[in-house]
Amino acid sequence: MAGLKQVQRQTGVALWRQIADRIREAIGNGAYDETGMVPPEIVLALQFGVNRHTVRSALAALAQEGIVRAVQGRGTLIERKERLNFPITRRTRFTAGIGDQAREMRSLLLDEVTEEASPEIARWLGLKPGAQVIRLETLREADKRPVSKATSWFPAERFAGIGEAYRKHQSITKAFADLGLADYVRATTEVTAAHADTADLADLELTPGAILLIAKAMNTDLDGVPVQYSISRFAADRVQFTIEN
């Protein structure tokens, strides 16, 4: 199959996981749009130079993610699930960004910790290393599907109580408003991609080998003072980013 990258042996990454990644990428690139089906197992096995059992394991993992579905007598059907479009703007807001693309939105506070800022976190927030910060671990869902998981840090002196405010409103914007910050803007966004780790696989309901889009972002108040640094992990097969001026 044109466009499929060969797997690499002895890399420490299981062959079935590499194959799942290649098929997931091909689906995302529209390689099978004409038929709406993944090629037969025997074709994929020949393409990747592996046995059918290895291909079957890869397809089973993709089926658990909801990307494909085995149909008896037909083969492996690609599930048509459009990605949510998430705009990154000067005023990036999760709920407003997803907007009417989902019928139901939900935000969960997984954890709240007050801790000393590491040198990296202190740099982003313009604090001295060791200054007190509040770390929130949050999970966002759209139509009951986990979409993103985020770790956010806030200056503790300025935003004491932000965890409770977030739990009440399920919104960083509304939590900020409760604590006296009426408006804020996105100063920096860095986007990378990586395989999900064990914790993110569980919380985002993904299978090993799933790819995450990772957005590191810093928000400031209107005077340019940092108010939040976050690392958000998005399921790559569920969300796409649009950079807007």
Alpha-carbon distance 126 to 218, whole Å? 11
Q: State which amino acid sits at residue 203.
A: D
Q: Is the pTM of this model over 0.95?
A: no
* Residue 237, number of CB atoms within 10 A of its CB: 20
Interval 181-211: pLDDT, tens: 999 999 999 999 999 999 999 999 887 778 8
Cα separation values, 218 from 9, 37, 114, 245, Å: 39, 41, 19, 17
pLDDT at 182: 96
Retrieve residue 165's tokens.
């405010």
Overall size of the chain counted in residues: 245
Estimate to the nearest angstrom the gap between the alpha carbon of 195 and the chain centroid.
Answer: 10
Alpha-carbon distance 51 to 173, whole Å? 51
Long-range contacts of 15-19 (CB under 8 A, 24+ apart): 15/48, 15/50, 15/54, 16/54, 16/55, 16/57, 16/58, 16/61, 17/58, 17/61, 17/208, 17/209, 18/209, 19/44, 19/48, 19/50, 19/54, 19/55, 19/58
Q: What percent of the chain has pLDDT over 70?
A: 93
Residue 229 and residue 191 in contact, taking contact as beta carbons nearer than 8 Å: no
pLDDT at 62: 87
pLDDT at 214: 96
* Residue 119, number of CB atoms within 10 A of its CB: 9
pLDDT at 53: 94
What are the φ/ψ torsions at residue 238 (nearest 5 degrees)?
Answer: -115, -15
pLDDT at 32 over 90: no
* Residue 42, number of CB atoms within 10 A of its CB: 10
pLDDT at 123: 97
Choice between 69 and 2, residue whose per-residue pLDDT is larger: 69
Average pLDDT over residues 151-177: 96
